[in-house]
C-alpha cells in the first residue's frame, strides 16, 4: 500500500527484514529439533543460532536480492546468504524441508501478527462506539426505511447497532486468526518422507502455531480464503457505518458531521464546503479490501499437491488487505470519537412531517377499538396523505375525522403522539448489546 493509507506498525510486518527473520527462525527451530532427533549434529544447530541470529540489515537483504537475481528462487537465495553467515555447518539447514514449508509457515505467522494489530484496532473502534452510544442513548432522532422517515429511534441506538455488528466482526476475526495459525514442515508433497512430523510440531509450538493436519506441499488455501473473506466482511461493515454518517451529514439532513478542524478546507473552488471526506475515503478503502477476497477464494483450487498460482496473489493481498484494513479501522475509530452530533437538528427533523411518524400507533389503536385492520389502515392513510400534501398535521386532521373520533377519545388520541413510547425499550436493547 502507498504510505498515504498505511501505518508503520502494520507495514513493518510485511517488510523484508521481518519476513527473513521469520524464515530464519523456522529454519533454526527445525535444526534444533533435527539435532535432538540425531539427524544433524547438535553443534551445527547451535552454530545456526550463534552465527545466523543477526538483524536482517539492508546489506543482508541486498545480498539476498543479488543472489535471487541469479538463481531466480527466493528461498535458495535466502539459504545461500545464511550459509555465508553460518559457514560449513549451514549444509545441515533445511534438511528434509521444501520451500513451501518456509513460505507458507511464514505467511501464516505474518497474518497472525497482522491480525493481532487488527484486533487492537477493533477494540479501539468498539470503545469509541460504546462511549458515543451511551452519550446519545436518549437522544431521539428519525429512523428511516428506504431513506424515508419511518418511526423514532435514538442516535445511541443507531451506534449500538454498529457496536453489535463490529463485535460480531471481532469474533469472526478471532476465529479467522485461529484458523490461519497453522504450520507446515512436511517436506516435498507433504508426506514427511524426509523429515519427522515432530519437527513440524516443534516449529509450530515455537512460533505460536498449530501443525497443519495434512498439508500436501502447501497449507490448504481454503483457510486463507476464509481469512480474507472475514476481512472483506469487516470492510463492508466499515462502509456500512461510513455510509450512514455520509447520509446524515448531507446538507438537507445535517444531524451529524465529521469533525472539521481549524484551517481545514473543503473545496478548492467553494469556500463554504464541509465535506464528509473521511467517510468517503473509508467507502473507497472498503471496496479495495473486499476486492481481495475473490482472488483468495480462487487460490483454493491448486493443481494436485501444489502449484504456485496462489503465490503472486498472496504477495499482494496479504500486505495490501491487512495494511488497508488497519488504516481504515483506525480512521473510522477517529471519526466516531470526534463525530459532531446535532441533537437540536434531530429534534427539528422529528417534527418536520407533522406527526406522521405516529401513524402506526394510531392504526393499531383503531384495531383495538374494534375497527378492522384494513379499515384502520385506510382511515389513517387518507389523513397521512393530506399531511404529505401540506394540508395540516396528523393529529389535527385525525381530530376532525369522524371515523377516528367515533372510536378513540380525544385524550387517548393525543396520548398516542408520545415520543417516549418509541424509546421505552432502549435500555433493554443496550443491556443486550453491552452485557459483556
Grid cell locating 296: 483468495
Q: Is 72 helix (H, G, I), strand (E, B) or coil?
A: coil
Q: Is 146 a catalytic residue?
A: yes
Whose cell is 479495495? That residue is 288
398 contact partners, CB below 8 Å, separation of at least 6:
362, 380, 383, 404, 405, 413
- Closest C-alpha among 156, 204, 163, 160 to residue 182: 204
The vertex-314 CA angle with 223 and 102, nearest 5°, equals: 80
**Catalytic residue, candidates 29, 73, 145, 146:** 146
**Catalytic residue, candidates 73, 267, 312, 372:** 267
The three state secondary structure string of 220-273 is CCHHHHHHHHHHHHHHHHHHHHHHHHHHHHCCCCCCEECCCCCCCCCCCCCCCC
Grid cell locating 321: 488487505
The vertex-32 CA angle with 29 and 34, nearest 5°, equals: 110
Q: Which residues are catalytic?
A: 146, 267
Amino acid at each position: 500500500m502507498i504510505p498515504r493509507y498505511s501505518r508503520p506498525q502494520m507495514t513493518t510486518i510485511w517488510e523484508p527484514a521481518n519476513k527473513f527473520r521469520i524464515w530464519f527462525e523456522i529454519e533454526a527451530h527445525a535444526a534444533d529439533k533435527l539435532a535432538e532427533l540425531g539427524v544433524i549434529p547438535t553443534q551445527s544447530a547451535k552454530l545456526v543460532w550463534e552465527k545466523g541470529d543477526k538483524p536482517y540489515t539492508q546489506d543482508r537483504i541486498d545480498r539476498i536480492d543479488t543472489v535471487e537475481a541469479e538463481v531466480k528462487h527466493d528461498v535458495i537465495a535466502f539459504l545461500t546468504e545464511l550459509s555465508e553467515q553460518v559457514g560449513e555447518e549451514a549444509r545441515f539447514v533445511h534438511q528434509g524441508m521444501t520451500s513451501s514449508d518456509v513460505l507458507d509457515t511464514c505467511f501464516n505467522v505474518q497474518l497472525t501478527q497482522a491480525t493481532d494489530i487488527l484486533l487492537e484496532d477493533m477494540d479501539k473502534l468498539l470503545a469509541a462506539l460504546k462511549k458515543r452510544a451511551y452519550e446519545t442513548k436518549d437522544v431521539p432522532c428519525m429512523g428511516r426505511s428506504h431513506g424515508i422517515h419511518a418511526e423514532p429511534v435514538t442516535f445511541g441506538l443507531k451506534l449500538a447497532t454498529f457496536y453489535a455488528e463490529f463485535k460480531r466482526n471481532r469474533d469472526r476475526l478471532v476465529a479467522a486468526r485461529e484458523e490461519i495459525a497453522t504450520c507446515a514442515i512436511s517436506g516435498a508433497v507433504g508426506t514427511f518422507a524426509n523429515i519427522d512430523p515432530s519437527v513440524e510440531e516443534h516449529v509450530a509450538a515455537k512460533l505460536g502455531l498449530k501443525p497443519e493436519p495434512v498439508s500436501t506441499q502447501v497449507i490448504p488455501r481454503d483457510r486463507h480464503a476464509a481469512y480474507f473473506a472475514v476481512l472483506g466482511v469487516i470492510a463492508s461493515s466499515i462502509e456500512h457505518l461510513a455510509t450512514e454518517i455520509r447520509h446524515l451529514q448531507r446538507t438537507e439532513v445535517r444531524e451529524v458531521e465529521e469533525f472539521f478542524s481549524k484551517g481545514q478546507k473543503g473545496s478548492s473552488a467553494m469556500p463554504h464546503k464541509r465535506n464528509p471526506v473521511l467517510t468517503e475515503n473509508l467507502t473507497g478503502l472498503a471496496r479495495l479490501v473486499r476486492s481481495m477476497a475473490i482472488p483468495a477464494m480462487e487460490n483454493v483450487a491448486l493443481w494436485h499437491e501444489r502449484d504456485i498460482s496462489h503465490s503472486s496473489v498472496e504477495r499482494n493481498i496479504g500486505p495490501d488487505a491487512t495494511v488497508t484494513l488497519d488504516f481504515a479501522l483506525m480512521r473510522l475509530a477517529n471519526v466516531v470519537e470526534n463525530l459532531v452530533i446535532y441533537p437540536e437538528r434531530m429534534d427539528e427533523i422529528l417534527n418536520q412531517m407533522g406527526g406522521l411518524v405516529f401513524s402506526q400507533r394510531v392504526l393499531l389503536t383503531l384495531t383495538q377499538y374494534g375497527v378492522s385492520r384494513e379499515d384502520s389502515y385506510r382511515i389513517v392513510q387518507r389523513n397521512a396523505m393530506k399531511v404529505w400534501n401540506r394540508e395540516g398535521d396528523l393529529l389535527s386532521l385525525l381530530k376532525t375525522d369522524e371515523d377516528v373520533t367515533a372510536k378513540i377519545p380525544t385524550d387517548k388520541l393525543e396520548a398516542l403522539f408520545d415520543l417516549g413510547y418509541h424509546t421505552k425499550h432502549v435500555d433493554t436493547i443496550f443491556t443486550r448489546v453491552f452485557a459483556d
